[in-house]
Amino acid sequence: MALTPVMLPGQAIRTPGSIWAKAIELANEERKKPGADGRGDAFCYFVGSRASGKSTLLNRFLYPTRAEVPKPSEGIEYTYARKPAAYDHEKKDLAHIWEVGGSQEFAEEIASSDQLFLTAKQVTTAVVVIVVDLSDPAAVLPTVLYWTEQVKKKLGSTYEKFEKKGLQLPEQLRQRAKSKLYSANEDKDAVYHSGISLVIAATKYDTFKALDPEVKKVMSRVLRYIAHAHGAFLCYLSGLHGGASDGSGAEDAALLDNFTRLMNHLIFTGLEKKPVLKMQPMSDHNGPIMMPAGADTFKSIGRPRGAADGSVTAGLADWRELFEKMFPGVREKEAKMSTKGVKFVIPDQYKEEEVDAVRQRKLTDLENFRKEQVAAAEAAKKKALLAKAQQQEAAAKKKAAAPAGAAGARPAKPSKGGAADGTPPRRPSVAGAPS
C-alpha cells in the first residue's frame, strides 16, 4: 500500500493548484501591474502659527465646494482622505492627515515625536504644508523659518537611523527630489533637497494685497528665497471663506484649485512624477505668488540693494535684515515662539468638570507613582551600598584574624633523620674507614 508523503510546514500552500498557491500567484500579478509600486499610505501635516488659517485651508482642500468656517483647532487633529487608485479604481489610496495647532510648546512636542512626525515609515510619502498668515506680516518669517528648521532637524535624525543600518534610502529620496524638480535648474546643487514634499501656503492674501507695492515686494522675495532654498512649493491663497465682494472671486477660486491639484498630486502620486499644474508660475509681487519647486532661481529673486553675492545662508541673512526693517516686531514674534513653559490650555467652551476631575486624579496618581519609583530606586541603591560595605568589613576582619605567616610561605618539613634545612644526615665516621 502506497504511503501518502508527509508535507512539511509551509509546503502545502505551495502545492500547485491549491487555493493558497492561486492567491499567491494573484498577489504577485497585482504587484506587477503598472503603478503598483507599493507606495503605501501617504502622510500629510498642516503646520504653522495659530489663527493662520490651517483648519480653513485643510477644510477647503478636502471639500473645495464648502466655504465653511471651521472651529479653531487645539492640539492635534486627525483626518484622512481617500482617492481611487490610478490603475485600479476598485482600490482606494489612503492619506493620513494631521493638523498641528495649540501652543508652541505642544507643536514642539509633536515635531520632536518619534512616533508621529516624519518617522522612518513616513518619509517616503510625507507632505508638510507650512501655513503662514499674510495678515500678520511680522509673524511670517519666524513661522516659516521655525518650521523649515524643525523639518530639517527631524529628517536629519530619521535619516541617520537609515544610514546607521547602511541603507541608501535618504540619499535616494534626496536624489528623487533633485531629479524630478530641479533637473534643469541652475541652482540644483545649492538647494537643500529634503527628500519630502514641502509646501509654503501664504493665506489671507486678500487682506495683504492693498499694502504698498514695496512692502509686497519684500514679502514675496523673502518667501520665494526661502521656498527656493528649501526645494518647496510656494502658493498665495485668499478668499478661503468665500463671498469675495471686490470681484476677485475668480482669482481666489483659481488659486484654491491650483493648491488642491498640487496637494492631490503630492499626496497620492508623490515626487515620483513632476506635478503638472494648470496655473503658470506667477512671480509678480503685485499679484498672488505661485511658484512651483524648481521653477525659481536665486538670480531672478535677487538680493537687497547693496548686498554682495555669496552663499545661500548669506543671502537669507541679507533678506532677513531688510524684512525686519520693513515689518517691525519680527524679533518679538520670534522670542514669543521660543518662550518655554507655555502649557496647553483647554478653552472654557470645551471644559467638562467630571472629565477634568478624573484627569487631575490620574495625573496625581501618576506623579505619586513616579515619586514611589524614585524612592524605591534610591532605597535599593542604598541597600546595595550597605551590603557591599558589610562584605568589605567582613573580609577585612577575616584577614586580620588569620595566624601570622598564614599569608606567607609554608615552612619546609624536615625529612626523617635529616636537618631542618633538608640536607641529608652525615654518617658517623668509623676508625679506619674513609669518611
H/E element holding 431?
none
User: Considering only 18-27, 181-190, 313-322, 379-388, which range has the smallest mean pLDDT?
Assistant: 18-27
C-beta separation of 154 from 114 below 8 A: no
- The reported pLDDT for the residue numbered 404 is 56
C-beta separation of 271 from 172 below 8 A: no
Q: Which residue has the higher pLDDT, 240 or 265?
A: 265
C-beta separation of 212 from 286 below 8 A: no
Quick one: average pLDDT of 198-218?
A: 95
Centre a 10 Å sphere on the Cβ of residue 147 and count the other Cβ atoms it contains: 24
Residue 428: pLDDT band (50, 70, 90) is very low
Please state the separation of Cα 10 from the chain's center in Å: 39
Q: Which residue has the higher pLDDT, 257 or 112?
A: 257
Quick one: average pLDDT of 85-97?
A: 81
H/E element holding 150?
helix 137-164
Enumerate the domain spans of the chain.
38-338
H/E element holding 406?
none
Closest CA to 34 of 83, 84, 82, 86: 86
Residue 185: pLDDT band (50, 70, 90) is very high
Q: How far apart are CA 301 and CA 221, in angstroms?
A: 6
pLDDT tens readout for residues 238-263 = 988 766 556 578 899 999 999 999 99
What percentage of the chain carries pLDDT values higher than 70? 77
* pTM of structure: 0.70
- The reported pLDDT for the residue numbered 429 is 46
- Strands 233-236, 197-203: pairing is parallel
Q: How far apart are CA 143 and CA 48, in angstroms?
A: 6
Q: What amino acid is encoded at 132 in this protein?
A: V
- Selection from 81-85, 189-193, 274-278 with the highest mean pLDDT: 189-193
Question: CB-based burial of residue 203 (10 Å sphere; 0-12 exposed, 13-18 middle, 19+ buried)?
Answer: buried
What percentage of the chain carries pLDDT values higher than 90? 48
Residue 180: pLDDT band (50, 70, 90) is very high
Centre a 10 Å sphere on the Cβ of residue 233 and count the other Cβ atoms it contains: 24
Tell whether the model's pLDDT for residue 36 goes beyond 70: no
Quick one: average pLDDT of 132-136?
A: 95
Q: How far apart are CA 368 and CA 336, in angstroms?
A: 33
Round the average pLDDT of the chain to a whole number and report it. Answer: 82
C-beta separation of 237 from 201 below 8 A: yes
User: Considering only 196-210, 230-244, 316-330, 410-424, which range has the smallest mean pLDDT?
Assistant: 410-424
**Class for domain 38-338, per CATH?**
alpha beta
Q: Residue 96 contacts by C-beta under 8 Å, 6 or more apart in sequence?
A: 41, 42, 43, 44, 78, 80
Residue labelled with grid coordinates 477660486? 253
pLDDT tens readout for residues 281-307 = 999 999 999 999 999 999 999 988 867
Residue 130 grid cell: 507650512
How many CA atoms lie less than 13 Å away from 160 in the CB half-sphere? 6
Question: CB-based burial of residue 362 (10 Å sphere; 0-12 exposed, 13-18 middle, 19+ buried)?
Answer: exposed
The DSSP bridge partners found for residue 40 are none
Instruction: For the sheet with 42-48, list strands across it.
Output: 76-84, 92-100, 42-48, 126-133, 197-203, 233-236, 290-291
Q: What amino acid is encoded at 243 in this protein?
A: G
- The reported pLDDT for the residue numbered 342 is 47
H helix count then E strand count, the chain: 11, 7
Quick one: average pLDDT of 410-416?
A: 50
